[in-house]
Amino acid sequence: MSSSEKIPQFPKTYWRETELPSFDKLKEDLSVDVAIVGAGITGITAAYLLAKEGLKVAILEAGGVLNGTTGHTTAKITAQHGLVYDEYIQHFGEEKAKLYYESHTKAIQFIKQTAIDCDLSNEDAYIYATTDEYVGKIKTEMDAYHRLGIPGEIVNSIPFDIPIKAALVMRNQAQFHPVKYLKKLLEDAVQSGCTVYENTTATDIEADEDHRAVLTNVGHKVTCRHVIVASHFPFYDGLGFYFARMYAERSYAIGIKTDKDYPGGMYISADDPTRSIRYTPINGEKLIIIGGENHKTGQGPDTIVHYDALKGFAEETFGISEYAYRWSAQDLVSLDKIPYIGPITDKKDHIFVATGYKKWGMTTGTVAGHLLADYILDRDNPYKELYSPSRFDADPNLKKLISTNADVAGHLLKGKLEFVPKDPSDLQMGEGSVVMHNGKRAGAYKDENGKLYIVDTTCTHLGCETEWNHAEKTWDCPCHGSRFSYAGDVVEGPALKPLDNLSEEQ
């Protein structure tokens, strides 16, 4: 293996190499019409639409703009979200399944009409099957397309050295550079009066005497008529119990260059393990982005294994001349696989949430931006009922709720009873592990300079024990998907507080 093919030492995403504007931290109390928490595709799209309507809008971002899931996507713009339409017909009926397709098709149209200088190209989307079992599922999905009026066709080959048995095509979808696209959308929102605050962490929402929402931040308050919680996992639950109604999955992507010409199109396997394929232009060449290797956050083997599996697939299918990028993303999946977009609860109709995008955030975030803007502007929208966070259909939700929370309980108990033979002094530089520290379970990481970081591995959300993520150098919670840096800082919610620092106890 040449040096150019070696795995990049640290994760980095190609999308984040775009130069982005910077914004100040909130330094005073603020009063606006709409406060949006989260500067990803949902928050920026909603801000763009609302600011253009003349509303006073502020975006609050805990870190930097476009550094969350939006900056770590594969950036496919499609209504083909896996083999979902037959399942939606079975669970929700043809009318709602069709509404799902229509809402995402409209999102694609909006992106195409709005996109400027973001490497957007029209592409056909393919789901391919390599086994007889999934050929049957491909045919069943094609029947669902016919019932819903979705244009599609089955083909018997794709232009790669992959032994497929059938593929289902959805024509005229698209792909783009998500950060370039949203950078322009954010600039337009700011020109329309939207204000943006980075490094500003909202921790709670309260109501004042006039029943306006008040976001409490570090030393400052943001008072508003409406709040949009677009922070990926809702930082504010509002008794909606979202932590019990979703589960977190991680997935991985690598960016490679190859001597073979890429023929175009976007591809995803129906079979496991999932393989997603697309390209993006880069300096006159094509960067092939290969994704997949889904698993529940904090569970499964050493995470570096997933990058190795994608690299092996890429080498076998394309041949690698340069292994340039690797990154991962975390996605939330609702119990019934339909996102939650709308009032956070029936009783809090001025606080809105958008979450549970199940890895299809480019169109879903765009759907959410429009839907939430229509709620706030008191406009009709045909998709309100479909995405309502207050829905709860017993099938399949009830069974999934029981199994999801039984899994949580199992991990909660397992972590507490685990025997850990390792001591912090056993770690090599660059290594992290669960260890015993002062007779208790802890997490330790020794950096490249030999500095030792020791944290309490108990998640500050609901007390599950986090596990070490080797590939990302984070502590990940297997119960509800919270993630923390090796020093204990919150990387991903629902946790709001960092892990306890035990380093001083050495």
**Rounded distance between C-alpha atoms, residue 415 and residue 412, angstroms:** 6
- The one-character DSSP state at 501 is B
Q: What per-residue confidence (pLDDT) applies to 412?
A: 44
Domain boundaries, the chain: 23-72+179-244+337-392, 424-505
The reply to whether domains 23-72+179-244+337-392 and 424-505 share a CATH topology is no
What whole-number distance in Å separates Cα of residue 433 and Cα of residue 418?
13
Q: What is the pLDDT along the chain (506 residues), one digit of tens a residue?
A: 443 456 666 778 889 888 899 999 999 999 999 999 999 999 999 999 999 999 999 999 988 898 776 778 889 999 999 999 999 999 999 999 999 999 999 999 999 999 999 999 999 999 999 999 999 999 999 999 999 999 999 999 999 989 999 999 999 999 999 999 999 999 999 999 999 999 998 888 987 777 678 887 667 889 999 999 998 888 888 878 888 888 888 889 999 999 999 999 999 999 988 999 999 999 899 999 999 987 776 565 567 888 899 999 999 999 999 999 998 888 889 989 999 999 998 888 899 999 999 999 999 999 999 999 999 999 999 999 999 999 864 345 555 554 445 444 444 444 444 545 677 777 888 888 888 887 788 889 888 888 889 899 899 888 888 888 887 788 988 887 788 988 988 888 788 889 999 886 55
Q: What DSSP character marks residue 499?
A: P
Q: For residues 261 and 69, is the Cβ–Cβ distance under 8 A?
A: no
Q: What is the CATH number of domain 424-505?
A: 2.102.10.10
Handedness of CA 486, 489, 495, 499 (dihedral sign): positive
Average pLDDT, the chain: 87
- Contact by Cβ (8 Å): 502, 442: yes
DSSP state string for 384-420 = HHHH-TT---HHHHHHHHHHHHHHHHHHHHHHHH---
- Which regions of 81-194 does DSSP assign to beta strands (E)? 121-129, 153-155, 166-175
Is beta strand 483-485 parallel, antiparallel or unpaired with respect to 474-476? antiparallel
CA–CA separation, 35 and 223 (whole Å): 8
Q: What sign has the CA pseudo-torsion 13, 14, 17, 20?
A: negative
The strand pair at 474-476 and 285-296 is best described as unpaired
The closest alpha carbon to 57, from 41, 70, 40, 44, belongs to: 44
- Phi and psi at 151, nearest 5°, equal -65, 135
Output b/e per residue, 355-392; b: 16+ Cβ within 10 A.
Answer: bbbbbbbbbbbbbbbbbbbbbbeeeebebeebbebebe
- Cα 337 to Cα 423: distance, rounded to the nearest angstrom: 42
In tens, the pLDDT along 249-289 reads 888 999 999 999 999 999 999 998 899 999 999 989 999 99
Q: What is the pLDDT of residues 443-495, one digit of tens each?
A: 898 888 888 898 998 998 888 888 888 877 889 888 877 889 889 888 887 88
Burial classification of residue 254, based on how many CB atoms lie within 10 Å of its CB (0-12 exposed, 13-18 middle, 19 or more buried): buried
Helix (H) or strand (E) holding 249: strand 246-257
Strand partners, 229: 37, 353
- Amino acid identity for residue 61 in this structure: E
Whether the upstream peptide bond of residue 263 has omega within 30° of 0, thus cis, is no
Superfamily of domain 23-72+179-244+337-392 in CATH is FAD/NAD(P)-binding domain (3.50.50.60)
- The reply to whether the predicted model has a pTM over 0.75 is yes
**Cβ-Cβ contacts under 8 Å for 332 (sequence gap 6 or more):** 232, 233, 246, 247, 248, 249, 355, 356, 357, 358, 481
Task: Using a pLDDT cut of 90, give the percent of the chain over it.
Answer: 56
* Residues linked to residue 250 through DSSP beta bridges, in sequence order: 295, 330
Distance CA 426, CA 463 (A): 26
